[in-house]
């Protein structure tokens, strides 16, 4: 069976390709930047949102399953229209062709931002009503909808959205990359601002979830939430990274209240909520169907920093 993997040169896509090859799947690699040298092999170009239908049809030769990892994220210049084109319009067009031409499953890598904003505190599972708060989150939620509608219109239900919390791994960007760089400094940090719990997922564990969804024999639900087994405090993330860099934690015992008041005075309430929110992702549904979440998040974060230190 051949699996079409988009975004195959990205953080998660590389791991997905590796896991599927280990499982003896034939892989068709697709990337926005097919000219970039990569250890995963030659890649085909991913058509843009406005490409002709023939460009999408050409990708489906002998394809059984589709894993759509490609997405636009962490681009401050993209705007609402840019995110929508990359994460929703393109997803809908790919799903429509896949529903007509590929006999297997369609796995869309989505995000908890399709459900909740960065300032949300609470538990996120498949029953959480979607309420995205940013352009990226809205585009990912629309991508979920158009993907499921494309399959429903074809009389099929073998498509799903895999909603992920922040992903860590070698080459990570965004907030996790910023935290890694911050931990590699000697800057003291206020512990009171770092008490919120966060669910994370390693890129390898996310790839395992994709393999599970392609392989398990039961029917697919419209969406799944994946995460490591236990959430970790922001202070634990910084401490683990600093241990990996062989640095002291340097967390000052500053209480949260004066920091919160300072944020209010500076008009930074939203940033404060995003920094201190407790967001717990519940992967119970996926685990009940046989998937095993990562249990050693702190050790994995520590090892990630060690590897970054050796690579300098």
Where along the chain do its domains lie?
Answer: 2-167+203-227+281-294
Q: Concatenated DSSP letters for 265-303? A: HTT-HHHHHHHH--EEE--HHHHHTT----S-HHHHHHH
SS3 of residue 109 by DSSP: strand
The reported pLDDT for the residue numbered 272 is 67
Q: What is the pLDDT of residue 37?
A: 45
DSSP-derived 3-state class of residue 202: strand
Block residue for tokens 């068709």: 28
Considering the entire predicted model, what is its pTM?
A: 0.91
Question: In the CATH scheme, what architecture does the domain 2-167+203-227+281-294 have?
Answer: 3-Layer(aba) Sandwich (3.40)
Across 105-219, the runs of DSSP E, i.e. the strands, are 106-111, 122-124, 159-164, 167-168, 189-190, 197-198, 201-202
Q: d(Cα 7, Cα 32) in Å, to the nearest integer?
A: 7
State how far the Cα of 125 lies from the Cα of 142, in Å rounded to an integer: 18
Residues of the chain with pLDDT below 70 are 33-41, 192, 258-259, 263, 268, 272
pLDDT on residue 301: 95
Mean pLDDT (the chain) is 89
Distance linking the first and last C-alpha atoms of the chain = 40
């Amino acid at each position: 069976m051949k699996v079409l993997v988009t975004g195959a040169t990205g953080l998660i896509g590389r791991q997905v390709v590796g896991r599927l090859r280990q499982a003896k799947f034939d892989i068709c690699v697709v990337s926005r930047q097919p000219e970039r040298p990569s250890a995963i092999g030659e890649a085909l170009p991913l058509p843009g949102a406005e490409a002709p239908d023939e460009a999408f049809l050409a990708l489906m030769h002998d394809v059984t399953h589709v894993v759509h990892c490609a997405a636009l994220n962490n681009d401050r210049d993209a705007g609402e229209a840019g995110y929508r084109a990359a994460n929703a319009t393109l997803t809908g067009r790919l799903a429509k062709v896949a529903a007509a031409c590929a006999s297997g499953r369609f796995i869309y890598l989505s995000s908890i931002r399709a459900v909740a904003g960065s300032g949300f505190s609470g538990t996120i599972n498949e029953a959480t009503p979607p309420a995205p708060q940013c352009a990226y989150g809205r585009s990912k939620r629309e991508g979920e909808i158009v993907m499921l509608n494309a399959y429903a219109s074809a009389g099929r239900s073998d498509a799903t959205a895999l909603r992920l919390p922040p992903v860590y791994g070698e080459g990570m960007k965004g907030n996790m990359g910023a935290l890694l760089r911050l931990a590699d400094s000697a800057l003291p940090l206020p512990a009171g601002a770092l008490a919120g719990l966060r669910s994370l997922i390693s890129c390898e564990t996310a790839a395992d979830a994709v393999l599970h969804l392609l392989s398990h024999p039961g029917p697919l639900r419209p969406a799944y939430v994946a995460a490591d087994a236990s959430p970790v405090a922001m202070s634990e993330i910084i401490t683990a990274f600093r241990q990996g860099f062989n640095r002291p934690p340097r967390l000052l015992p500053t209480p949260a209240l004066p920091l919160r008041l300072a944020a209010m005075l500076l008009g930074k309430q939203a940033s404060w909520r995003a920094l201190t929110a407790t967001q717990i992702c519940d992967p119970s549904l996926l685990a009940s169907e046989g998937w095993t979440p990562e249990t050693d998040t702190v050790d994995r974060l520590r090892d990630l920093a060690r590897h970054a230190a050796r690579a300098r």
